[in-house]
Copies of this chain bind each other. A is one copy, B any other.
């Protein structure tokens, strides 16, 4: 993987070049802040979600443990969640008002500040891999619609019929949303807050973040959310942190939520958890936005924070146990398990 170094005689905090291998590595991921309410979650459904989160976590952790890059780790974790019909990304994506799946994804490399995003994708099985192609094979950062699907074909990325993404559960959610759209609160948490993402620090000291989503149920065709936008839903910078967000995308775009975590660390000297809490409580919430994020800093500290009743999430640090959680306070239980 090419990682162009930073050049120039600039002063001030700069992305750090690749460092000597360190035993410290970490991955954290989320499957969306839109969890099914605890009372409505069956034992079987909860088991399925936990298993799917553990599968994605294992996929990413294995890459890091073998000395692989954070870019490969977050790609592997997000691909696993895109392939699962349980999450709002790839197969199982939320549907637009027209009943179609329009997929967004992004990936960012904290070492070089290179990034790739795709939006309004309709035929690419794993949008996060297409985002990575944009980052590594084009001069562009964000590619949309027909141009994105065309790039996938040019590079032989696996494509599928648009129907591949559509699941019975999301069709029902769309019908519910259409019936109730004039009522307050017609969108359930799960309809509003789906998205998957992962962040990682690898043995080489490099951070990466990736996010993938189907967006919001009943979204207007052509709506682009925060996930594919550098600094809104996805950001990574070796100087500070890697961040992936989930929630009502419009608020994350207006507050530049992912980048704001980094800016508060870099320009105000906050720690990762402080910065993340500040963004969710003092920037997002006052505008009316809710959601969550996972983030990891250059020391390998990971945080999962959300202002919703829960967030599908998992994390694992080098040599530590896997932690899988859904509701608030689940982490401790899981850690003990």
Contacts and interface: CB of A to CB of B under 8 A. Distances in A.
B256 A219 contact: no
Nearest to A230: B253
Contact of A119 (B144, B148, B249): B144
How large, as a class, is the contact surface on chain A? 35 or more
B12 A221 contact: no
A223 interface: yes
A10 B288 CA distance: 12
B285 A222 contact: no
A129 to B, nearest CB: 17
Interface in A167-206: none
Number of copies: 2
A115 B254 contact: yes
B150 A222 contact: yes
A303 interface: no
Interface in A10-24: 10-12, 14
Given A147-B221, A148-B222, A6 B142 contact: no
A260 interface: yes
Interface stretch (A82-90, A263-271, A312-320): A263-271
Contacts of A115: 253-254
Given A10-B286, A229-B229, A232-B230, A222 B254 contact: no
Counting from the closest, the 4 A-B pairs by CB-CB distance are A147-B222, A267-B267, A8-B286, A263-B263
